[in-house]
Amino acid sequence: MYSLDTTVLNFFDEFEIFISRFDITHLDNVKPDYILHKIIDMIGNPKNYGPTAEELFLISQEEDENRSLLNTKLLTRKFNWEMEEASRKCTNEAIWTAQTNAIQLQKFDYLECQAMPLRNYLMSFVMPTLTRGLVNISKSNPDDPIDYLAEFLFKNNPCID
């Protein structure tokens, strides 16, 4: 299984990872600052590989610009959509109005055609007798003109013989 040669140092040597040794076992009253300074002397100052404060500021400015540009694009797109909807609505209203007017005209023509036989009947059979009755009322000037007209129409009805 494990041999005595299996140690941490042998493991790092096997993978060619070179280590620096720092032995503090023989020192008395060792302070953490002393250890930290020794490590910095051995491996160098710590390095920050992230962005600097200036880079972070530039990145945030760029993000703000992108966000405002996106908002402007969204507002423009929304405005264009609303304008298209308004145009579409006006077009649909015009089509609807034209269709409604056409239906009303057809309805009027239909009712005129339906009324034509009744109108012809009235003009041929009722109006001549009614006209003569009204002329007689104006000549005789009766006390009750409605009753007189009713009696005249019953007496002079052309359909009843």
For the segment 75-104, the average pLDDT, to the nearest whole number, is 96
- CA 127 to chain centroid: 63
Q: Which residues contact 43 (CB under 8 A, 6 or more apart)?
A: 20
pLDDT digits (tens, 9 = 90+) for 23-42: 777 777 777 787 788 888 87
Furthest CA-CA distance within the chain: 153
According to the model, what pLDDT value does residue 135 have? 94
According to the model, what pLDDT value does residue 3 have? 58
Question: Does 151 have pLDDT greater than 70?
Answer: yes
d(CA 10, CA 17): 10
For the segment 121-125, the average pLDDT, to the nearest whole number, is 88
d(CA 50, CA 139): 118
- Counting Cα atoms < 13 Å in the Cβ hemisphere of 124 gives 7
Q: What is the pTM of this model?
A: 0.40
List the single range of 14-18, 99-103, 126-130 with lowest mean pLDDT: 14-18
Q: Which residues contact 38 (CB under 8 A, 6 or more apart)?
A: 22
What does residue 100 show for φ and ψ, rounded to 5 degrees? Answer: -65, -40
pLDDT above 90: percentage of residues in the chain = 55
- Average pLDDT over the chain reads 87
Query: CB of 68 within 8 A of CB of 61?
Result: no
Query: CB of 42 within 8 A of CB of 20?
Result: yes
